[in-house]
Structure 1
Amino acid sequence: MVRFEGVSMRYGRGPETLRDISFSLEPGSFHFLTGASGAGKSSLLKLIYLAHRASRGRVELFGRDVSLTHASDLPFLRRRIGVVFQEFRLLEHLSVFDNAALPLRILGRKPATYREDVAELLTWVGLGERMHALPATLSGGEKQRLAIARAVVDRPDVLLADEPTGNVDPAMSLRLLRLFVELNRLGTTVLIATHDEDLVARAARPTLHLEHGRLVDLGGRP
């Protein structure tokens, strides 16, 4: 699904944020991405969801070299990737339900075909009674759960999550982990960037560990 070969990245003319990164995510795999603040976790995710280009090296998505992919084809690749951002990126004028259903609307599906599925997903993440609320009325944890629901609602081929449990309590954190595991069981490749050591330990999945912009651990430590 994802392959990096000797990838480095910098912002503008600044120093390299990532240096000589090489790894691959096989279809149906589940990894955590760990490292201290500033290690480069968010930057690596940005390369995968095409928010930035590598300064050198090769990035492949779904078997295609991103640097050789025509700009008109990039939106198609992005639609295969679900992303949970730290800053949520909710649309303030849309209800909780409509925010969660937005990827399905973009795909052209009619509400009658997804209404029950979206309602069930929102209930699972604890927002079943807030479906008609606007984002401005939600707590930080509720916004986080809504952002996760929106990212997984269309069962993307790849799910990227940047600190997805940072604003929820331990019980909800485990519930969201079960959601990610179930999505992975259905075939989605999952990569979660997190500081939550308890979450990583409970999941017992392989870990990619960054230090100062370098990938230093490809082990399967929990």
Structure 2
Amino acid sequence: MSRNLNATGAYDADPAVVRFDDVSMRYGRAPETLKDLTFSLAPGSFHFVTGASGAGKTSLLKLLFLAARPSKGLLHLFGQDVATLPRSELPFLRRRIGVVYQEFKLLEHLSVFDNTALPLRIEGRKPDSYRNDVAELLAWVGLRNRMHVMPATLSGGEKQRLAIARAVVNRPEILLADEPTGNVDPEMAVRILKLFVELNRLGATVVFATHDQELVARSGMPSLHLEKGRLTPVAARS
């Protein structure tokens, strides 16, 4: 994918927040898990990533979160070539990306409030600077009355909403979700989807991996479909 020269003779800034150019990925010496992916995502867009188990959805999200690097091709995030970034700069780039995992990855010894606030504490912020913001966010995801309890007392849907709150508390520019509705009933899945749609409306670029085709169809959002590691754009359904 080429860029155009502007009137000053320089290249225009890349408008895409994510750009894959002929990207492949493998684990060790194994066959390629992802093959020749070429696509871009505009800032503020919403895309599902669909495909059967083993198609490469999680591997694609790992590339986007910088938990893995391509074995071939060019990957640009926020206009930066990931391959040339020093490892020391990766944590700063990751702070612009939020991730919601299917298995939640909550810290059982921390309260709902403290789990949500953890990314802010890691950044070095003091509790007085974020206490009200965290409380408002938990109210927004429906956990206002649960913020002082421990994760073990939460239902599956509550744990997922807590995981979403933690992922977005520092207002990431990209929000990744790996099967976030896989452990909840259909009614809760729709509620969780609505949270992601609202976060997208607030400006986050959302990449939502799921095998739930009914949820995809219901949303009307575009999707990128993986089959045996190859990615094919799929038009939005009406």
Q: TM-score, normalised by structure 1?
A: 0.93
- The residue identity in structure 1 corresponding to 2:66 is L
Shift of 1:167: 2.0
Partner of 1:212: 228
Partner of 1:105: 121
Shift of 1:175: 2.3
Partner of 2:14: none
Greater gyration radius: 2
Partner of 1:172: 188
Q: Indicate yes or no: 2:130 matched with 1:114.
A: yes
Distance 1:158 1:84 in 2: 11
SS at 1:205's partner residue? coil
Partner of 1:194: 210
SS at 2:136's partner residue? helix
The answer for unaligned runs of 5 or more in structure 2 is: 1-16
Q: Which deviates the most, 107-116 or 10-19?
A: 107-116
SS at 2:145's partner residue? coil
SS at 1:129's partner residue? helix
User: What is the CA RMSD across the aligned residues, in angstroms?
Assistant: 1.6
Partner of 2:219: 203
Q: Indicate yes or no: 2:75 matched with 1:51.
A: no
Partner of 2:51: 35
Distance 2:227 2:153 in 1: 38
Q: Indicate yes or no: 2:212 matched with 1:181.
A: no
Q: Call closer, same or farther: CA 1:188–1:24 in 2, change over 3 Å.
A: same
Q: TM-score, normalised by structure 2?
A: 0.87
Shift of 1:218: 4.2
- The residue identity in structure 1 corresponding to 2:35 is R
SS at 1:217's partner residue? strand
- The residue identity in structure 1 corresponding to 2:210 is T
Distance 2:108 2:152 in 1: 7
Summarize deviations over 1:184-214 as a string: whole Å, max 9, x none. 1121101100122232122211110000100
SS at 1:178's partner residue? helix
Q: Which deviates the most, 118-127 or 178-187?
A: 118-127
| Contact persistence 2:19–2:40 (CA under 8 A) | yes
| Contact persistence 1:18–1:40 (CA under 8 A) | yes
SS at 1:208's partner residue? strand
Alignment of 1:81-160 (within 5 A): 81-160=97-176
Distance 2:212 2:163 in 1: 18
| Contact persistence 1:33–1:41 (CA under 8 A) | yes
Q: Call closer, same or farther: CA 1:172–1:121 in 2, change over 3 Å.
A: farther
Q: Call closer, same or farther: CA 1:218–1:58 in 2, change over 3 Å.
A: farther
SS at 1:54's partner residue? coil
SS at 2:236's partner residue? coil
- The residue identity in structure 2 corresponding to 1:104 is L
| Contact persistence 2:157–2:188 (CA under 8 A) | no
- Percent identity over paired residues: 73
Q: Call closer, same or farther: CA 1:97–1:80 in 2, change over 3 Å.
A: same
Summarize deviations over 1:44-96 as a string: whole Å, max 9, x none. 00001011111111111100010000111110110000000122221222111
SS at 2:144's partner residue? coil
Distance 1:18 1:150 in 2: 29
Summarize deviations over 1:8-64 as a string: whole Å, max 9, x none. 111111111100111111111111100011100000000010111111111111000
